[in-house]
Structure 1
Amino acid sequence: MMLNKALECSTAYLLLGGNLGDREGNLKKAIELLNNKIGNVIAISSLYETAAWGKTDQPAFLNQAVSLQTRLTALEVLDCALSIEQELGRVRKDKWGERLIDIDLILFGDEIINIPDKLQVPHPHMQDRKFVMEPLAEIAPGVIHPLLGETMLDICRNITDPLEVKKL
């Protein structure tokens, strides 16, 4: 008997971050909401403190990677993540600006998705950003990037991003 594709579980990998307010508390609340609204959280990385990327004149970020099992589609996961950001008080002002919480969908199983101005999976810049790769390699070292064919650990080991990322 075959299961309907919509009933199958997928593994989603998300990166959480924030540099305003109770950074650690906001990440904990986001993880709780992800678990309640999207699917079962199966792994959570350590906390990483990272200098701001892109727009550097702002406080340091706390980042954390999360993997979860979900029956939702990638677009549904994205919509729920954006709703959780809003519920936690995120206001979108400046690109790469300060924020209470940021939730990015980095990988969704081995799917490759390109919906311009909406969703790109794998995240198109993940392999260039140490603050993404270090927490992701911690919880998913053997997961293979669907476009690059390399494991998260290998990508992390070979990254040239000079930004300081400190495991807490």
Structure 2
Amino acid sequence: MSRHSEVNVKNNRRISGVALDAADHQILTALAGNARISMADLGRLIGMSAQSAADRARRLEDLGVISGYTVKLDHVALGLALGAYIRVRPAMGELPRVAALLADIPEIVECDRVTGDDCFIAKVFVARIEDLERVIDRLLPYAQTNTSIIQSSPVWRRTPRLG
């Protein structure tokens, strides 16, 4: 059964009702597991030719369902042994400045604007506690922060359930 969704295409128009069938779901699952899979292997995996698999993947890219391909990096192997989440509550009138500042801090690997008492939750990886303190200190003139150190990650980032 296909699932209808709203997707962003390259020109930022929204298209509603894009039908994703079982083969699309298989392609997305396979690419999420290994973005470097060859089109020949992808085709074999889902029971179609390499050309058909490539055409389908390109269609999913054109529709904006696939927005890019990435690599997973091991932060510990890179010498960034300390991970933390920083909840950020901008001072009155400072939300745009804080958003820009969060985007400008290279140690922040991702950040979401959220509902609730805080406006942002930022994920940061650094080598030492002193480096984390410097990140927090950059935010303090414009926001309150609350930081939680990551002890372990029982669930790594994964693809949302498809279908």
Q: Give your verdict on TM over 0.5.
A: no
TM tier, shorter chain?
Answer: 0.3 to 0.5
Name the larger-Rg structure: 2
Question: Structure 2 length normalisation: TM-score?
Answer: 0.38
Higher relative contact order (CA 8 A, sep 6+): 1
